[in-house]
Amino acid sequence: MDEGAVVSMLSSEVEKLGGFAGSAISGPLLQIGTLVSILGYMFYIEPLVAAIALALYSPQFIIVPIFQARMNRLAKRKALKVRRLGNFIVDQAEEELLQQEPPALFTELTDAILKIRTKFLMTKNVMKTLNNLLIAMGPFGVIAYGGYLAINDQIEVGVILAFVSGLERLGGPIRDLIGSYSSITDARMRYGILLASFPSHMDADDPVPMPNMLANETT
């Protein structure tokens, strides 16, 4: 197997999988338990207002998977490009080349990695902006509809305050749960490309080269 690809796989891909494994179960369980507890209390107090708040949060279940799928595709392309860059650096590690201009392939790969990274950050920031907007819409919806009910003496102001306080506590677990979902899908993608990098049957006496996974990738 190419030394440069192995360096990239060990330094970035496997290391991130190891970090994910440490909190793969405990983190999501804590966040889901917190959400269920708060939403259960809110539905017990006033089901209609709780349903409105939940409806304002529900678009995240559509937005997050769409954006995360694109982020995973970009992360996969970046990982494969970094592997190829590592191969090139190892193959071209000649002392006389240090004083020369960077080869065209090196510049092409670094530019491609920069573009992919820029697209990844833009996608991530757009997703975070939409999520924060939807999280902020929850208290707004509760105050608007709950205020209408309070004006018509159908609900007490204290109940509205309890709902607003509960929704503020929902923001943190929702963000953490989205982060856990992103980590899970990213780990699945990285684990998939790691498995695809090795032949199904390996023999130390008859090594098989690593498959070219960049054959169908575009910059």
The pLDDT assigned to 93 comes to 61
pLDDT in tens, 71-122: 999 988 988 888 888 777 777 766 656 667 777 888 888 899 999 999 999 9
Tokens of 183: 């980590």
d(CA 197, CA 192): 9
The pLDDT assigned to 219 comes to 43
d(CA 22, CA 135): 28
d(CA 171, CA 164): 11
Among candidate residues 10, 48, 17, 73, the one with its CA nearest the CA of residue 149: 48
d(CA 166, CA 39): 8
The pLDDT assigned to 122 comes to 94
pLDDT in tens, 146-156: 777 778 877 77
d(CA 155, CA 16): 49
| Complete domains list, the chain, with CATH | 3-93+102-196 (1.20.1560.10)
Low-confidence ranges of the chain (pLDDT < 50): 218-219
Sign of the Cα pseudo-torsion (175, 181, 184, 188, in order): negative
Q: DSSP characters for the chain?
A: --HHHHHHIIIIIHHHHHHHHHTTTHHHHHHHHHHHHHHHHHHHH-HHHHHHHHHHHTTHHHHHHHHHHHHHHHHHHHHHHHHHHHHHHHHT--GGGTTSPPPHHHHHHHHHHHHHHHHHHHHHHHHHHHHHHHHHHHHHHHHHHHHHHHHTTSS-HHHHHHHHHHHHHHHHHHHHHHHHHHHHHHHHHHHHHHHHTS-SS--TTS--PPP-TTTT---
Q: Are 217 and 77 in contact (CB under 8 A)?
A: yes
